[in-house]
Amino acid sequence: MSPASQQEHEGGGRVSSASNSYGKDAFNSYAKGFLKPFKGKGELIRLRDELEEAARAARQEAIDMASQANGGLLKSTDLWLTPWGKSGIPARTLQWRDNRQRSMGLWLLEAFLSRDDISEAMRQSVIDLEVQRCVFNAKAATINWSIKRIGKALADIEHAVSFQR
């Protein structure tokens, strides 16, 4: 039995191999930084700098994923993927929008997938895209939270050091 059919057989559903390898590879480098003990401020600064570089790469990745989906799979639909985030957020997430850019939210995807005129192949492709979007958004959220938390820790360290004579 193939790994994909084994996963389906075990009730795991269908997940594309691209999203499996993407998820594993994308978080592997971050896990190394989180699993080692921090011995001082320098290691926190180094991890923050690595995460800021990852955030820059993730911003471009979001743009690339949205452009590829919007110009390909979603071109003939009323769905759109848009990189979104408040100003100052290191890594932006991908959000569903209507193609007129007036509405945003998961409900747009749900409405699209509930239509009867969507082919099963299109439905599955959009579901696979949603899985990729979820994995990407988890990565962006991890980067954003980690940068914010490291910034707080560095500020706390500076506050503690300010009491030195």
Q: Name 96's bridge partners.
A: 81
- pLDDT reported for residue 27: 52
- Nearest of 134, 148, 142 to residue 22 by alpha carbon: 134
Residue owning tokens 């409900």 = 107
Q: pTM (2 decimals)?
A: 0.74
SS3 (DSSP) at 83: strand
**pLDDT tens digit sequence for 45-63:** 989 999 999 999 999 999 9
**pLDDT tens digit sequence for 155-165:** 999 999 888 87
Q: Is the pLDDT of residue 149 over 90?
A: yes
- pLDDT reported for residue 40: 81
- pLDDT reported for residue 18: 44
Q: Name 81's bridge partners.
A: 96
Angstrom distance (rounded) from CA 80 to CA 62: 13
- Nearest of 149, 146, 145 to residue 32 by alpha carbon: 146
* Average pLDDT of the segment spanning 67-72: 94
**pLDDT tens digit sequence for 92-134:** 999 999 987 788 999 999 999 999 999 999 999 999 999 999 9
